Structure 1
């Protein structure tokens, strides 16, 4: 006889779970006891939002579900941001949530939540386990749901009395993975479409990739003379140094790449859902009249044809399709289409100078040129992130951890997870002053568990992206976008980490070297000009242009 917490922990071990992330709660004490008994490491976090983002990042890094434990009511409410990231980013993740005792339900008891109602449209699957003996069954299904088709997050609610009850339920071996295969006929049809097209463009994105898949994409695109664009924050899907790489279809994308997307006569959508971000709010490619042939490869048949009609639908993993394509003999092709796309990317990468003594474009350029090829870069959301997307060249799969959902606060928890996954490796988080302050309390989590990421904080004293839009729409009427910030370097030292402040671009390389040598979680604060924008303009210039348009 075992209590439910032990049954749960043994099921996690059977599924290969090597680490969980949590904020402890009295509602799942039995689960904590089970983790203790089985010896699964538990990364104890400071707030459920940070814990959820660490679990999501772990899912991205490993390809296996990141596992989260949070308590009921306020705990799971705090975790919603990370669950939303997992859903929009198609990341496998399982959140185990404490629940009130079964006999108290439907009385609005202390911290009671109807999880099926709250999360029914928020995650991939949500359920509540009412019988201790059925825990192995539910956990098997949770892992299957998180990984099958389009991966995503699952929520399992665990009533407190169910979890502490005893049962002689046997363990279950994990369910065999359900992986859609690809046929020779499908590969032949796709190859024929590409060979016949004059202006084909590969658009790569989505989950389920690997180092081998990234290498196959590079080899296939180069040998077939095809340009490759990646979707928002999926730049690690292909070596950016390849002559076939054309850039990212992201927020603030290269206008020439957007025009190339519009002028293509064939789009090969590899693994991506292909939504509003890569299409500029559906304006570059109109779902009502796409005007281009589309071949869509996605592991979930439900995603194919969901927004755009397709001429060829292949419900399979992009990695498996690429493994078949790369073995084919390429047809002769004029390389001008690919070469011009690459030239436009190279031009776009030329730094556009920003005001102030700290030039963020130069800092990112230095990082791109000097970090190890396998260094992991993380970020959340903000105007600063556009510098990273534009000027950094990702060399390997798995080196970019960023939320396609655009969630602020993500970069630092993700960097902690990456550092724990690969101790001693180089992990750099780029964060804005507003973005970092949403989860900087996880600095003590990093110190406690031995994570050593380096956080580069871009401090401009404002919510930069929102200020940029504000100046465009309501010039000169500043409201709600100014920030009063702490001394970030001193704060890092107070937590037991390493802190640096940089006020001139030339000082950054030495500061970074000291941070790396410290062997501690580190913060390098960049004091940038408040008017710095990712476009290379200043806010004052943006304001002047907006006023001129308004005739003021």
Structure 2
């Protein structure tokens, strides 16, 4: 009997008996294991039973969620935590269309994710089979690559293509559709079995000699430098970022996936790279004479570069040339990996920043959000007080999730991270509904870390049933419902504009009983002390939980600014 050990992403624990007849589903699962996929997230579907069986036989954990959108959000959040590709498997027709929004979120976030979708058998193509629909045009619009494989012996080849497409340039989701008869069809042992080794890792270009000279010259002249750390620094990590910050005395902000890539609790941190909720960053963008934009482009969170000063020089570094000069022309645009850029900067002569300006920027950020703090009233405590009570009670290993509601914008700027993969937010797309599945997915990706989700009483309703998913698999995460009894992100600006609101109010529901009904624990808290006690109790209990907190309905600086 030939037993071959898979080696995917450096380690694969299970063994496959290669003399056993393998079908298409088995070939897919063998390939996923070799690629280092750690969990498959899915929702029940008859056409994908061969993949389910293969997961059980080959030892690849299968997580059965309550909704396909939630399953895909879980896969994406696992990728954001681990730095590896996530994977979801969905059934045909509406199963695939339920994956559209998570695919859009992953595309806009630059998150690598493999989605495998079923289709009706090839003999029933174009005959109106049950649940059958041509979803490829839809999926091509929300992923980096979407294709259909109709030969079981080519499944591994198609997955190799998907892997290359997924990682090329800026990462993103890919979709492979497989008809049910191909999933259950036999694979030819001579030609159709996957290569049992990890697909090759993507390579990233280094900084050229001439670009290195230009970097050193530009940095030597800078007196008001600002370092912006973007998404690619998460996928291409450098241990020298802290060395660069210390050596050159750089104030820095972190964007999106880069949150925690360097310790945000240190004094040089100038707040999140999120201009709408960071007035200090808006000032720094206008006043800096040199901006080092690494692994990112001037997108919405940076106001598309429109607020930069007229004399500001921009050094932009990204492996994906499509990002270079996007929305704002860089003075020095370098197609290179962030790690190679930091190697050049770490070895360059120390910059001489204007310390008075740097100190002023850092002092502004320290004072900015303290001035926003408010007291409670008969409707609840201030959102900042609630957020602070949660973070004060949580250990520094905690993974935090927020989204795109008014309460989330209060949370974003209060959170600080000292390690990567601790901050998950679907803000790139502005999508509500990702928060709870993100929390569930993070609990599978890092079972040892506490996971806390901030969400309003509107957003929690999308996928609260995924508390059950976590409980069924012995995982735990905590949903903190900041309850202001309305769709606050829309209601508050609506009232400012028109003096009235339109169907924006929500009755106070007992979310603690919802948690208990789904197998978890519920806590209702009206003050910071009880919030802290509830968070500690929920973590100690090791069960999914909801902590419901009535909060004042006050517009966040973000919503006030963009409205």
What TM-score do you get using the length of structure 2 for normalisation?
Answer: 0.89
Q: In structure 2, do the counterparts of structure 1 residues 202 and 436 end up closer, same or farther at CA, with 3 Å as the change threshold?
A: same
Aligned residues: 532
- Equivalent position of 2:438 in the other structure: 414
Asked if structure 2 preserves the Cα contact closer than 8 Å seen for 1:379 and 1:412, the reply is no
Q: Trace 1:136-535 onto structure 2 (pairs within 5 A).
A: 136-168=156-188, 169-172=192-195, 173-185=197-209, 186-209=211-234, 213=238, 216-232=240-256, 234-250=258-274, 252-279=276-303, 283-285=306-308, 292-350=312-370, 351-353=372-374, 355-356=376-377, 357-403=380-426, 404-476=428-500, 478-529=501-552, 531-535=553-557
Q: In structure 2, do the counterparts of structure 1 residues 326 and 371 end up closer, same or farther at CA, with 3 Å as the change threshold?
A: farther
> For residues 209 and 106 of structure 1, what CA distance do their matches in structure 2 show?
43
> For residues 232 and 468 of structure 1, what CA distance do their matches in structure 2 show?
25
SS class of match (2:174): strand
Q: In structure 2, do the counterparts of structure 1 residues 101 and 211 end up closer, same or farther at CA, with 3 Å as the change threshold?
A: closer
Aligned-pair CA distance for 1:381: 1.9
> For residues 111 and 335 of structure 1, what CA distance do their matches in structure 2 show?
64
Structure 1: which 4+ aligned runs deviate by more than 4 Å?
none
Aligned-pair CA distance for 1:232: 4.7
Task: Give unpaired runs (5+ residues) of structure 2.
Answer: 1-20
- Structure 1 residues 288-320: Cα deviation after superposition (integer angstroms, max 9, x where no partner): xx7532221112112212332222222223233
SS class of match (1:136): helix
- Structure 1 residues 256-279: Cα deviation after superposition (integer angstroms, max 9, x where no partner): 321220222222111113212221
- Equivalent position of 2:15 in the other structure: none
Task: Give unpaired runs (5+ residues) of structure 1.
Answer: 547-552
Q: In structure 2, do the counterparts of structure 1 residues 187 and 327 end up closer, same or farther at CA, with 3 Å as the change threshold?
A: same
Q: Cα RMSD over matched residues? A: 2.3
Asked if structure 2 preserves the Cα contact closer than 8 Å seen for 1:115 and 1:126, the reply is no
SS class of match (1:278): helix
> For residues 558 and 54 of structure 2, what CA distance do their matches in structure 1 show?
54
SS class of match (1:2): coil
> For residues 282 and 275 of structure 2, what CA distance do their matches in structure 1 show?
11
Q: Trace 1:5-24 onto structure 2 (pairs within 5 A).
A: 5-24=25-44
> For residues 154 and 317 of structure 2, what CA distance do their matches in structure 1 show?
36
> For residues 453 and 178 of structure 1, what CA distance do their matches in structure 2 show?
33
SS class of match (2:322): coil
- Structure 1 residues 49-71: Cα deviation after superposition (integer angstroms, max 9, x where no partner): 11111000111112111000011
SS class of match (1:302): helix
Aligned-pair CA distance for 1:233: 6.5
Asked if structure 2 preserves the Cα contact closer than 8 Å seen for 1:211 and 1:396, the reply is no
- Equivalent position of 1:549 in the other structure: none
Aligned-pair CA distance for 1:436: 1.1
What TM-score do you get using the length of structure 1 for normalisation?
Answer: 0.91
> For residues 434 and 224 of structure 2, what CA distance do their matches in structure 1 show?
37
> For residues 256 and 7 of structure 1, what CA distance do their matches in structure 2 show?
53
